[in-house]
Amino acid sequence: MPDSTPVRLEKDGRVATIILDRPERRNALSLEALRALRATASEVAADDAVWVVVLTGAGDRAFCAGADLKERKGMDDSQVKECVLEIRAAVGDIAALPQPTVAILNGHAFGGGLEMALACDLRVMDEEAQVGLPETSLAIIPGAGGCVRLPRLVGVARAKELILLARRLGSEEALRIGLVNFVAPHGTAAETGSEVVAALLKNGPLALRAAKAAVDGGLGLPLQGALEQEFSCYSRILPTLDRQEALVAFAEKRSPEFKGE
């Protein structure tokens, strides 16, 4: 039977939290879960009241174990290809969210789970968690962006080492090579993530979106094209009320009260 709620969406003020909710399967990505995730991402992307998005997993064993290999075992080659394309699309939907995204790795993140985290803007990792792309040990390769996003994040040589050797990393090494941004004491990843979210919410929400678009849009472009992309994003912010509020608040020596306008 399909999962009743393989993905949950919780909203608290300006924050939307997407929860992979299959703890009994270590939040593995079944087709049902992937379709629910895509629908949830679409809903969040269209909600201007959401300023920051959090992605995490239910339970305390795993953020996401990757593809549901139990489900995949019964698939033929064409079905596996369909599943991989669905994972790739879901990861792409997370990457394309206009809001800044924070992945809270409350447990292990392997394969498609790590690829999902790589699609987020910031990553918080429990100190006892592990991450990795073990696909080559299963005679396949990362197919949902791992071969593309990981080298852009940690460099080509390091990414090849991790992918070709199917290495699993602990939190200390993941932080050292820049794969994650923050490491939290065991059991407190959610609290550390909340601190990161609170820091984001202090900044102009439209500016956060524009800065994300400038960075993401400039990747792969020649220098001049990337600079033009940055200026285009900057120009969208100039007429906003939030920018005027920031200037007034600075003059009055108070914290600005942004409205996303």
For residues 6 and 32, the answer to whether their CB atoms sit within 8 Å is: yes
Please check whether residue 107 is in contact with residue 63, taking contact to mean a CB–CB distance below 8 angstroms. Answer: yes
Interacting residues of 94 by C-beta distance below 8 A, sequence separation 6+:
37, 41, 55, 101, 116, 119, 120
| Collapsed DSSP state (helix, strand, coil) of residue 177 | coil
- The count of C-alpha atoms lying within 13 angstroms of the C-alpha of 6, restricted to the half-sphere facing its C-beta, is 20
Identify which of 46, 41, 42, 48 has the alpha carbon closest to the alpha carbon of residue 17.
41
Positions marked active-site: 67, 112, 115, 135
CA distances from 192 to 24, 76, 118, 207, 221 (A): 25, 42, 18, 23, 34
Q: What angle do CA 78, 79, 82 make, to 5 degrees?
A: 90
In the block, which residue shows the tokens 């809001």?
Answer: 99
CA atoms within a 13 Å half-sphere pointing along the CA-CB vector of 18: 29
Q: Which of 182, 164, 81, 177 is nearest to 122 (CA)?
A: 182
What are the backbone dihedrals phi and psi of residue 116, each rounded to the nearest 5 degrees, phi first?
A: -65, -45
Beta-bridge mates of residue 122: 102
